[in-house]
Structure 1
Amino acid sequence: MTYLLLALFGGLSGTTTVLFGFGGGFVVVPVLYGVLISGAGGSLAEQAAMHVAVATSTCVMIVNASLSTRRSARAGTLLKTWLWPLAGFIAIGSLVGALAAGLVSGEALRVAFIVYLAITIVDCLCRRGFVSRTVEGEPRLLGRWATGPGGVLIGAIATFLGVGGSVMTVPLLRRCGLSMNQATSMANPLSLPVALVGTFTYMLSGVMDAPALGTGYIGFVNLAAFAALTLGALFGMRLAARWVGRIPDQLHARVYVGLLGVVMVSMVLV
């Protein structure tokens, strides 16, 4: 029953990955955290629940972001000018964030996750440029500060919380004048550095520093949960593909913020 639940939420993560550029972290972390603290993963996994949830989330993100990036590349919605060198700086920050996550408690990670969501929601609703586009004409390019230090910060926060960075890259690109369809398509390739660096670091640090979680784990990554979530995600991504580009831009932005609110409330209540 536990793995069926994970597969169902994996399907939801696949759907939101395709349509909104996020899904791995914002769907997987609260669900897997809730499953683990119920004792489903064993007593040691329950103690390290938030670390396991974040690490497994980054692993699922590799599959989701890779497949969605491939689909976007085929559709021609990837804009190379906004991808590089931002992706490189995000990768640098990802290493910092993954190492930092191993230094804090699981409860501190959970609180940070909730606070981060709350700030993002308020920013999207109160600052102009997200819900409705304010840039006229051609989208503007990212400045040096947004690309360099901004990219490192995005990578560090995203990997620390296991959320992929889309919740920062989508508003950032949106305020440059990109449509929601373009911004969410770009979020997936920009999440790949977070997923790859984060997964490797969590696996390595888990093996070196964590108590033995038992069979079925590589470091902090729960392999059975990863498999169930990924299978569900593949179905969800296929289902969502037909809606890409069909959602009105402003509605797309409003639903994006609404989903973040749902995730935040669920994490508070867990």
Structure 2
Amino acid sequence: MLTSFSILLLFGILTGVTTVLFGFGGGFITVPVVYGFLSVTAPSGVDAMHTAVATSTAVMLVNAVVAAAVQWRQGRLDRHYVWPLAGYILLGAAAGSCAATWIGGTALRVLFAGYLLVTIADSLLRKGFLSVRRETPPEPLGRGASTFGGLGIGAVAACLGVGGSVMTVPLLRRRGLPMANATAMANPLSVPVAVAGTLVYALVPGIPAQAGHLGYVDLTACAALLTGSLPTIALARRVSGRVPDRVYSAAYVGLLVLVLVVMTVTGT
């Protein structure tokens, strides 16, 4: 038990780093880690993928709120980008998390991997993500991008337990924002996803009662991951503004590739 907690704590530290640097809120680390961990250690009858997604949303809720407060104090949040999206993301997240409870664990894992693959390809093949033109000011979000983009981000993010940063960061990046600002704003935009997802996964009916669980949420795994992530968020905030923009965007895509590989390996 102590060894299991220690392993998750170490991954919690990594989660804290990615929350600040990439706006992930922990989802892209937490889902593969908890899924792989439960696939090996959980007793029969435990739905590893749904538990991983649910635990991810709970961890993300805490991490995203703390990281958003840090980014706000550093002046990296722009309400003109955050507020138009937040309400629509919340609506989409409520629908997406409800839909996820009806999707089988294997199908959910395949959707997660497919989501990553499409995002990686889009970031590499379409202009506007790896670099932005600095001579032009950032563009505002249009009504269509705010409405339909927010609903889509919320639905997909809550369904897969990833917070939506892999959709919000490219969206804001292609509006001309530097990576440091785009990833910073992914944190407050992950909060409505995490709130809706955590409530649905924790209160979903028909789940057999298990010690240390609230619905699908694994409370022990949450505690271990947060023990590692929260102190790390306070330290990592000192680094995020010092990374060159091109290196920042390339590292973002590289991490997505790594997560895709991990999900593929643990699922075979």
Write the distance in 1 (CA, Å) between the matches of 2:193 and 2:217.
15
Write the distance in 2 (CA, Å) between the matches of 1:163 and 1:209.
24
Of 202, 221, 224, which residue of structure 2 is paired with 1:228? 224
1:268 and 2:267 are equivalent in the alignment:
no
SS of structure 1 residue aligned to 2:76? coil
SS of structure 1 residue aligned to 2:158? helix
Q: Which string of whole-angstrom CA distances, capped at 9 and with x for unpartnered residues, describes residues 223-270 of structure 1?
A: 000000000101321331221200000100000000000000000000
Give the superposition deviation at 1:44.
2.4
SS of structure 1 residue aligned to 2:31? helix
Match of 2:90? 91
Give the superposition deviation at 1:78.
0.4
Maintained 8 Å contact 2:25/2:64: no
Write the distance in 2 (CA, Å) between the matches of 1:74 and 1:235.
17
Gaps of 5+ in 1: none
Question: Counterpart amino acid of 1:44?
Answer: G
Match of 2:42? 41
Write the distance in 2 (CA, Å) between the matches of 1:83 and 1:53.
27
Question: Counterpart amino acid of 2:22?
Answer: F
Give the superposition deviation at 1:144.
1.2
Question: Counterpart amino acid of 1:25?
Answer: G
Maintained 8 Å contact 1:181/1:244: yes
TM-score, normalisation: structure 2: 0.96
Maintained 8 Å contact 1:44/1:211: no
Give the superposition deviation at 1:209.
2.3
Write the distance in 2 (CA, Å) between the matches of 1:71 and 1:252.
19
Question: Counterpart amino acid of 2:206?
Answer: D
Question: Counterpart amino acid of 2:12?
Answer: G
Runs of 4+ aligned structure 1 residues displaced above 3 Å come to none
TM-score, normalisation: structure 1: 0.96
1:117 and 2:116 are equivalent in the alignment:
yes
Give the superposition deviation at 1:204.
1.1
1:211 and 2:212 are equivalent in the alignment:
no
Maintained 8 Å contact 1:134/1:175: no
SS of structure 2 residue aligned to 1:242? coil
Q: CA RMSD in A?
A: 1.0
Question: Counterpart amino acid of 1:72?
Answer: Q
Identity across matched positions, percent: 53
Question: Counterpart amino acid of 1:102?
Answer: T
Q: Which string of whole-angstrom CA distances, capped at 9 and with x for unpartnered residues, describes residues 198-224 of structure 1?
A: 00011111xx12233x11111000000
Count of aligned pairs between the two proteins: 264
Maintained 8 Å contact 2:25/2:187: no
1:2 and 2:1 are equivalent in the alignment:
no
Maintained 8 Å contact 2:17/2:233: yes
Gaps of 5+ in 2: none
Write the distance in 2 (CA, Å) between the matches of 1:101 and 1:209.
14
Write the distance in 2 (CA, Å) between the matches of 1:98 and 1:23.
17
Maintained 8 Å contact 2:25/2:190: no
Maintained 8 Å contact 1:15/1:23: no
